[in-house]
Amino acid sequence: MSSQSTVAESLRLKFVADAKDLAECVGIAASVAPAKATRPVLQSVLLRAEDGVVEVTGSDMEVAVRVRFEQVEVGQDGALLLNAARFQQILRELAGERVEITANERGVCTISTSDASFQIMGEEAEAYPEQAPWPAEGVFRLGAKELVGMIRRTHFAAHPEKTRYAMNGILLDLRERRLHLVATDGKRLALCERELPEEVAAPVHVVVPTKGMNLLPRVLEEGDAFVEIAVGPAQVFFRTPKALVTARLVEGHFPPYEEVLPKGHDKVLTLPRESFLCALRRASILGTKDSQSVRFAFDREGLELTARVPEVGASRVRFPLDYPFDPLSVGFNPAFFVDVLKVLATPEVRLELKDPKSPAVIREGSDDGWSFVYLVMPLNLEG
Amino acid sequence: MFGMRTSPVFAHLDLDAFFVSVERLDDPSLAGRPVIVGGADPRARGAVACASYEARARGVRSGMALRRAFALCPAARFLAPRPERYLACSRAVRELLAARVPRLVQRSIDEFAIDLTGCERLLGRPEEVVRRLGDVVEEHAGITCSTGLAATPLVAKVAAGQGKPRGRVVVPRGEEADFLAPLPLRALPGVGPRSEERLQELGLRTVGDLAAIPEEALREAFGAHGATLARRARGGEARLPAPAAGAPWEPREAAPTDAAFGRRFPRSLSREHTFSVDQDAREVLDRALVRLVEAAVAALRAHGLRARSLTVHARFADLRVQRRSGRLPHEAEEREVLALARRLLERLLRRRLRVRRLGVRLQGLAPRLHQASLFEGPQFRSARALGEALDRIRARHGWAAVRLGSGEPE
């Protein structure tokens, strides 16, 4: 990968590529570019052609991604900034064709195919924030497929906004031979744990912004075996053959998650994942995602889900299951269950319950050194 | 005349010059002299909320501009209203009444409608009951009142109004029409200056004139309001109106629940403040904003609701109104709402004109969910627990017991 030069570069560049492949790379970089930015330059992607390769960079100052694009014929090295949304939209419309991208010394960028051409104004690359360089030390690697699986099972539980605790990110906790990914918004928590083939040199305990973590599945390709990871004092780096992702670490303490892991859950059920998900979706139809409360009533007859939404209506959904314990009635936001049941892969899930004040627990586990546990705190329906 | 146990009979109790009466309770030196509640400075902007009978004798009326009231009655003592105090007195009167009669609906801060139908064996003759209630209020609350007794709540209300102050008016059964007929149109609840003007254009002068017009004709001319007026001119219905849900004098209990649809809740919650003098000083505007946010957020919690967005609106010195809105973060309490309100006000003030009126409105209301938290500790309780603690202190010691530091002193 090329490092970014501070020497003034030529705005001129020229390369030819497949529009669809290029659009995909630009799409990844553009997904980082904020729609509204205090610094307008962040609404651009940086396009750089060098050494027969094109690199596209997007950044919002917190998270940056540089995507490497090799299926390209470079005619002229150079770099310039293009409006992310506009560039991406043009490429998408041209999908399926060979595009030629040229920029002249004034930054006028021409995107052309055999029968269409667009000219948009580019800007000098110097204005763009520099991405931190890949550190030489403290690098370790994790299996790509495993890491993606763990991200998929945790990212949705992270808090969407900045909070006093470092909850708007995913905790990457690496000790001895165990890797934990944990996300929580204070109301539910997802924890994925995996055994590593080898012990890591130094323990890692950092909170990675959700946006940065979610880029990894997008930049990994079929056949990529590993993700290289390096942790700096304020940043974390992820490197794949195709891309470099850098993310500013979320500051602050992650909540003490080990203290809240469930104890004494005596009611253990095995549920078919798909049909349970379907029942929950039915029970949530009347509510909105952030204002749902459904009563889960378990008894010998099975599970009854009832919801009453002020000014909208009411619903009742029955779900047959084998429940040989004392009846239990407890309120939950069904969206918290839907989020997790969507991403699990097994046909059955384990549901563990205790009482109306304790979290519900969902487990998906296999024996080959990995486990997943998900906690949902109840709603007080009387309150 | 109200001897038949099943014949409907209703009483109406109206506290005389209520705000002034409360002020006189707290400051006996105000007795016997003209007093006007509405604003402490009669040269400032504002309206008369309540005038003593001495001031009314000089032509001062509720709703009149303070300046005009001052011109009519310069000797009057002008006082700023103390709504919390009036509300407390109003609640005390309600409790006195509620302990003595089975069916009571409070119509406003100083009016009570009472259903005495079928209560004769239990309470005594309706005339006696009403006289006793009036005496109890005067003795225990120290406020004089006027009462009316009639076969419908509406006629009882009009009767109480005719007897002010300290009147005890009884309209015998069957004489409702004769009682109402000679009264001016404005004596009928629901006839304001505009309706009066339009009815007079039709050549009507008295309630009797109005009662002579067929209901259909009034409906044609005035729509639904016309039909209401026609019924009222004939004495209205013989049943208590529903309590005004959400009115400040109503107790803060859970509203009745509909089995299928749950509790109803308001679409938005607003608070606004009109400055006595148009303002452009940032500190003054900010202090007013803090007070408005504080009141709106407390009301939000009292309703068990949360809000998704906030609008700040300002009426400027040129009388134009402008609004700015924004989305609130999840679980927004005083601090978060105030932060957004300040940003929105900042944008409004780009007009660089003085502000006459400032208001806040919380929208996108939804029931507050009582979601339990996984983690204990101050960081997780913070905003919500603080707000709820504020509510508890205020419930015990009054609204002013705890205020946000940057608000306007009162």
Mutate to test the interface with B, among A189, A311, A354, A381 (most CBs of B within 10 A): A311
Nearest residue to A210 via CA among A168, A252, A179: A168
Give the pair of three-digit tokens for residue A46: 């940086």
pLDDT tops 70 at residue B27: yes
Tell me which residues of chain B have a C-beta less than 8 Å from any C-beta of chain A. Answer: 260-265, 329-330, 366-367, 369-375, 379-380, 382
pLDDT at B253: 43
Interface check A313 vs B, CB under 8 A: yes
Q: Quick: pLDDT tens for A293-304.
A: 899 999 998 999
Region A110-115: mean pLDDT is 92
Interface touch A377/B371, C-beta < 8 Å: yes
Give the pair of three-digit tokens for residue B353: 């004109």
Cα(A146)–Cα(B256) distance, rounded to whole angstroms?
Answer: 54
Residues in chain B closer than 8 A to A255 (CB atoms):
374-375
pLDDT at B7: 86
Interface touch A260/B374, C-beta < 8 Å: yes
Region B294-298: mean pLDDT is 90
Give the pLDDT band (50/70/90) at residue B16. Answer: very high
Residues in chain A closer than 8 A to B367 (CB atoms):
291, 310
Q: Quick: pLDDT tens for A114-164.
A: 889 999 999 999 889 988 889 888 888 899 999 999 999 999 999 988 877
Name residue A178's beta-bridge partners: A175, A195
Residues 6 or more apart whose Cβ sits within 8 Å of residue A163: A186
Residues in chain A closer than 8 A to B379 (CB atoms):
164-165
Interface touch B262/A189, C-beta < 8 Å: no
Write the residue in B261, B263, B379 that is nearest to A164 by C-beta. B379
Interface touch A188/B374, C-beta < 8 Å: yes
Cα(B141)–Cα(B135) distance, rounded to whole angstroms?
Answer: 10
Give the pLDDT band (50/70/90) at residue B264. Answer: low
Give the pair of three-digit tokens for residue A312: 């909208």
Interface check A270 vs B, CB under 8 A: no
Rg of the Cα atoms in chain B = 24
Please tell me the distance in Å from B239's CA to the nearest CA on chain A: 28
Residues in chain B closer than 8 A to A357 (CB atoms):
372
pLDDT at B378: 59
Decide if B168 contacts B134 (C-beta within 8 A): yes
Average pLDDT, chain A: 89
Cα(B128)–Cα(B134) distance, rounded to whole angstroms?
Answer: 10
Residues in chain B closer than 8 A to A186 (CB atoms):
373-375, 380
Element (H, E) at A22: helix A19-32
Give the pLDDT band (50/70/90) at residue A52. Answer: very high
Domains, chain B, in order of start with CATH, read 10-16+85-233 (3.30.70.270), 18-82 (3.40.1170.60), 267-401 (3.30.1490.100)
Helix %, strand %, coil % for chain A, to 5? 20, 40, 40
Average pLDDT, chain B: 86
pLDDT tops 50 at residue A7: no
Q: Quick: pLDDT tens for A213-227.
A: 999 999 998 888 999
CA-to-CA separations, A1 to A48, A54, A230, A238, B339, in angstroms, rounded: 11, 10, 16, 14, 44
Domains, chain A, in order of start with CATH, read 2-127 (3.10.150.10), 139-258 (3.10.150.10), 262-376 (3.10.150.10)
Interface check A357 vs B, CB under 8 A: yes
Cα(B90)–Cα(B107) distance, rounded to whole angstroms?
Answer: 11
Interface check A354 vs B, CB under 8 A: no
If DSSP codes are grouped into helix, strand and coil, which group holds residue B316? strand
Element (H, E) at B215: helix B215-222
Q: Which residues of B are the active-site residues?
A: 111
Pairing of strands B309-316, B355-363: antiparallel
Pairing of strands A53-59, A63-69: antiparallel
Region B264-289: mean pLDDT is 87
Cα(B215)–Cα(A243) distance, rounded to whole angstroms?
Answer: 80
Write the residue in B261, B372, B374 that is nearest to A311 by C-beta. B261
Residues 60-119 of A with CB under 8 A from B: none
Interface check A263 vs B, CB under 8 A: no
Interface touch B374/A375, C-beta < 8 Å: yes
pLDDT at B222: 83
Decide if A155 contacts A148 (C-beta within 8 A): no
Decide if B169 contacts B159 (C-beta within 8 A): yes
If DSSP codes are grouped into helix, strand and coil, which group holds residue B67? helix
Cα(A279)–Cα(A317) distance, rounded to whole angstroms?
Answer: 7
Cα(B33)–Cα(A329) distance, rounded to whole angstroms?
Answer: 65
Angle at B45 between CA B41 and CA B48, to 5 degrees: 75
- One-character DSSP codes across B178-208: HHHTTSBGGGSTT--HHHHHHHHHTT--BHH
Residues in chain B closer than 8 A to A165 (CB atoms):
375, 379-380
Write the residue in B329, B370, B379 that is nearest to A379 by C-beta. B370
Pairing of strands B145-150, B168-170: parallel
pLDDT tops 70 at residue B358: yes
Q: Quick: pLDDT tens for B378-410.
A: 555 556 667 777 777 776 666 666 777 766 554
Could you tell me which chain A residue has the CA closest to the CA of B254? A383
User: B372 versus B14: which is more confidently predicted?
Assistant: B14
Residues 6 or more apart whose Cβ sits within 8 Å of residue A367: none
Interface touch A288/B366, C-beta < 8 Å: yes
Mutate to test the interface with A, among B368, B369, B384, B388 (most CBs of A within 10 A): B369
Interface touch A379/B371, C-beta < 8 Å: yes
Element (H, E) at A193: strand A188-195
Region B154-171: mean pLDDT is 93
Token pair 């011109």: residue: B71
Token pair 């010059």: residue: B17
Tell which phi-psi region holds residue B46, choosing left (phi > 0), alpha (psi between -120 and 50) or beta. Answer: left
pLDDT at B376: 73
Q: Quick: pLDDT tens for B208-260.
A: 999 998 888 888 888 888 888 999 999 998 888 877 766 777 765 444 344 44
Segment among A343-347, B1-5, B78-82, B392-396 with least mean pLDDT: B1-5
Residues in chain A closer than 8 A to B264 (CB atoms):
310-311
Please tell me the distance in Å from B345's CA to the nearest CA on chain A: 20
- Residue A41's CB is within 10 A of a number of other CB atoms, namely 17
- One-character DSSP codes across A40-102: GGGGEEEEEEETTEEEEEEE-SSEEEEEEE-SEEEEE-EEEEEEHHHHHHHHHHTTTSEEEEE
User: B335 versus A81: which is more confidently predicted?
Assistant: A81
CA contacts within 13 A on the Cβ side of A60: 16
Cα(A333)–Cα(A289) distance, rounded to whole angstroms?
Answer: 9
Give the pLDDT band (50/70/90) at residue B132. Answer: very high
Please tell me the distance in Å from A87's CA to the nearest CA on chain B: 30
CA-to-CA separations, B261 to A286, A315, A334, A381, B107, in angstroms, rounded: 11, 10, 19, 15, 27
* A19-32 helix and A84-93 helix, angle to the nearest 10 degrees: 150
Region B58-73: mean pLDDT is 92
Residues in chain A closer than 8 A to B380 (CB atoms):
165, 186
User: A331 versus A380: which is more confidently predicted?
Assistant: A331
Decide if B344 contacts B326 (C-beta within 8 A): yes
CA-to-CA separations, A147 to A172, A210, A335, in angstroms, rounded: 11, 14, 25
Cα(A333)–Cα(A251) distance, rounded to whole angstroms?
Answer: 29
